[in-house]
Amino acid sequence: MGSMVAINAGKPATQADLIDVNEVIGTYYDAIPDPADPAQRVSFGTSGHRGSSLKTSFNEAHIVAITQAIAEYRKKAGVTGPLYIGRDTHALSGPAMKTAIEVLVANEVKVRIDSRDDFVPTPVISHAILTHNRAADGSQRFEGEGLADGIVVTPSHNPPTDGGFKYDPVTGGPAPAEATEAIARRANELLGDFRKVRRVSYDEAIKSPFVESFDYRDHYVSDLGNVIDFNLIRSSGVRLGIDPLGGASVNYWPLVNEKYGLNIGVVRPEVDPTWRFMTLDHDGKIRMDPSSQHAMKGLVDELNAGAWNKYDLVGGTDPDADRHGIVCPDWGVMNPNHYLAVCIAYLFGGSRPGWPEDAGVGKTLVSSSLIDRVAASIDAPLVEVPVGFKWFVDPLFTGKVAFGGEESSGMSFLRRDGRVWTTDKDGIIPDLLAAEITAKTGKNPAQLHQEQVTRFGESWYSRIDTPTTLEQKQKFAGLSPNSVQVTTLAGEDITSKLTSAPGNDAPIGGLKVSTKNNWFAARPSGTENIYKIYAESFVSPEALDQVLSEATEVVDNALGE
C-alpha cells in the first residue's frame, strides 16, 4: 500500500545516477520524433511540454514545432509586444532556447533575452511580462497594443535528463487549457514536417534587430522591496541561508544581499547539469525538489554537521526557482502545507495593511485542511481550485486572491500595495518571507507551525500513486458525486463529495471526499499510467492509513462502474 520509497532515497548520487550531458544534448539534435507515437507527440501538461531527448519526447523537432505554433497563436491573439524568454540550468534548456530564438526571429517576433546570458527563473519572466503590461495608472492591461508574453525553458524540478517548454500569455502565468490545447494541436500538425518551418541561424538571429537584451536580474531584484519588508529583515539581523539547488536563482541572491543590506549566504552555489551534489529523491532519481526531505538530505546533513552556526534558517529553490523549501533548526525540511498555513496566518494577520480587505486565500483542493482552519480563524475567504497553478493566474491578476499556494510548494502573493506581483509560482519570495516572518515574530516558521498545531490540531498527510490503465484514467473525467456509494470514511460521516472545485466550479478531473476530520482526493497523472490519491487526517496516523485504504476501494469501485 502506498508509494514505495527507494532503498537509495536520501543517499548521495553515484556516478551511475549521472547523465552524460553530451549524449543528452547530442540526442536533442539527432533523434527525430515519430508523430504517430503518442509518447513522442507534443503534449502540454499543467506546465507546458516536458520530455527527454533520450526518449524522443523533447527534441529539436518539438521545439521548432511548438515555437512556430506559439508565434502563430500570439499573432492571432493580437499580441504585438516583445516576448520575454528565459531558461534554467537543465542541459536541454540552452539548446531549446537557441532553437526557439531561431524560429521566433524568422517570424519577426521581438525577443527579449537576458543581458548577461544568465539563467532566468520562472517567476522573473512572469514579473517582466506583468510590469511590461501595466497601464500608466498601475492597473494590469490584458488588451490593446504592445502587450508582452513569454516563454520559460524549464522542466522545473524534474530529473537532469529532462527538458521543458512553457508559454506564458499576457496575464504572465501558465497558459490556460484553451491556449495550450490550440498550441499543442498546431505543433503536432507541424511536427512531421518540422524542417519546413522557417528559421534563421542562431548567429544571425542574435545579431538581428528582433533580439533585445534585458537585465532580468536587476529588473526583478530592484522591485522585491515592494513585496517583502526588507527593513524588518535588515534591522533584525536574521541570517538566511539559501540553497539554489544548482538552479536559475543562483546569481540573484548576492544582488538581493547587496541591494538590501541583508545577511544571506548561498550554501551550495555550484551549477552542474548532472547535479552530482544531490541526494536522491524518494524514488531513487535525482530530482531537485526543495520541499523533499530526501532530495534535501545532503543539505540538512551539512547544516547539522555545523553549518547551522552560520544561519537562523535556510530556504531552497528548484532549478527554475518556482518552488521553495524551508529548513529550520531542530526540525529539518518543513512540509509545504505547514509552511503555507504559517504564511497565510502572517500575511493576512495584519502584516499587509495595503491588501484589499475582501481578497481571498487561494489553495488547491489537495492542500491541507489546516489552511481552511487558519483562513476561517482570520475571516479570510477561501478560494479552492483544482490542481495546477494556472488556476491562480486570473485570481492573482485581478486581486480576487491575495495569496495562491499549492501543496507541492508553489506560491505567489500580492505586492504590499495590493497589486499583482507574479501570476506564476515564485520560489524566491517565500524564502525571503520566511526571514521576514522570523524577524517580525522572533520565531521561525517551524515554531509557528507548532503553535498552529496546538490551536488547530495535528494532521497527517500523504500522497500515494496507484497503477491504473489508460482506459481507467479516462473514466476519471466522467465521475460524479453519485459515483461515491459509501456514506462514511474512516468511521466519520461524509460531509461533501466534489468533482468540481468550490472556488471556481472548474472540474477537478477526479474526486474529493471529505468528513469533519478527514478527506481524500483522487486524480489521474497527466504523464504516467497512475492515479494519485492525496489524503489527510486530523485524527491519527492510523486513521490516515484507513482513509487511504478506503479511498482506493471507493475509487476502484467508481471507475469499475
Which CATH number fits the domain that encloses residue 132? 3.40.120.10
Q: What's phi and psi for 153, nearest 5 deg?
A: -100, 95
| Domain edge (last residue) among 219, 245, 268 | 219
Domain limits for position 356: 234-456
Read off the C-alpha cell for 44: 502540454
Residue 3 lies in a domain: no
pLDDT at position 301? 97
Q: What is the pLDDT of residues 503-556, one digit of tens each?
A: 999 999 999 999 999 999 999 987 678 899 999 999 999 999 999 999 999 999
Handedness of CA 12, 155, 510, 325 (dihedral sign): positive
Give residue 261's region: left, alpha or beta (phi > 0; psi -120 to 50): left
Q: Are residues 203 and 291 both part of a single domain? A: no
pLDDT at position 561? 58
Q: Are residues 36 and 82 both part of a single domain? A: yes
Q: What is the pLDDT of residues 155-180, one digit of tens each?
A: 999 999 999 999 999 999 999 999 99
Q: Are residues 400 and 504 both part of a single domain? A: no
pLDDT at position 2? 46
Give the pLDDT band of residue 27 (cuts 50, 70, 90): very high
Whether the Cβ atoms of residue 333 and residue 357 lie closer than 8 Å to each other = no
Catalytic residue (choose from 126, 156, 483, 514): 156
Residue 225 lies in a domain: no
pLDDT at position 470? 85
Q: Are residues 451 and 483 both part of a single domain? A: no
| Domain edge (last residue) among 456, 482, 515 | 456
User: Taking the chain, what is the end-to-end CA distance rounded to the nearest angstrom?
Assistant: 23
Give the pLDDT band of residue 3 (cuts 50, 70, 90): low
User: How far is CA 432 from each of CA 240, 264, 345, 372, 429, rounded to the nearest angstrom?
Assistant: 8, 10, 16, 24, 5
Distance CA 80, CA 78 (A): 6
pLDDT higher than 90, residue 45: no
Q: Are residues 202 and 348 both part of a single domain? A: no
Number of domains in the chain: 3
Give residue 11's region: left, alpha or beta (phi > 0; psi -120 to 50): beta
As a whole number, mean pLDDT of residues 416-421 equals 97
Q: Are residues 337 and 437 both part of a single domain? A: yes
Q: Are residues 40 and 161 both part of a single domain? A: yes
Residue 22 lies in a domain: no
Q: What is the pLDDT of residues 391-409, one digit of tens each?
A: 999 999 999 999 999 999 9
Q: What is the pLDDT of residues 284-336, one digit of tens each?
A: 999 999 999 999 999 999 999 999 999 999 999 999 999 999 999 999 999 99
Give the pLDDT band of residue 1 (cuts 50, 70, 90): very low
As a whole number, mean pLDDT of residues 65-84 equals 98
As a whole number, mean pLDDT of residues 413-438 equals 98
Q: Are residues 321 and 188 both part of a single domain? A: no
Q: Are residues 132 and 156 both part of a single domain? A: yes
As a whole number, mean pLDDT of residues 472-476 equals 91
Residue 54 lies in a domain: yes
pLDDT higher than 80, residue 85: yes
Percent of the chain with pLDDT over 90: 93
Residue 297 lies in a domain: yes
Which CATH number fits the domain that encloses residue 501? 3.30.310.50
As a whole number, mean pLDDT of residues 351-372 equals 97
pLDDT at position 5? 87
Q: Are residues 292 and 393 both part of a single domain? A: yes
Q: Are residues 44 and 149 both part of a single domain? A: yes
pLDDT higher than 80, residue 228: yes
Q: What is the largest CA-CA distance in the chain?
A: 68
Residue 353 lies in a domain: yes
Pairing of strands 401-406, 162-168: unpaired
Q: Are residues 69 and 213 both part of a single domain? A: yes
Q: What is the mean pLDDT of the chain?
A: 96
As a whole number, mean pLDDT of residues 325-352 equals 97
Active site residue 139: no
Instruction: Please tell me the least confidently modeled range out of 116-125, 135-144, 217-226, 228-237.
Output: 135-144
| Domain edge (last residue) among 188, 219, 250 | 219
pLDDT at position 22? 98
Give residue 415's region: left, alpha or beta (phi > 0; psi -120 to 50): beta
pLDDT higher than 70, residue 261: yes
Residue 411 lies in a domain: yes
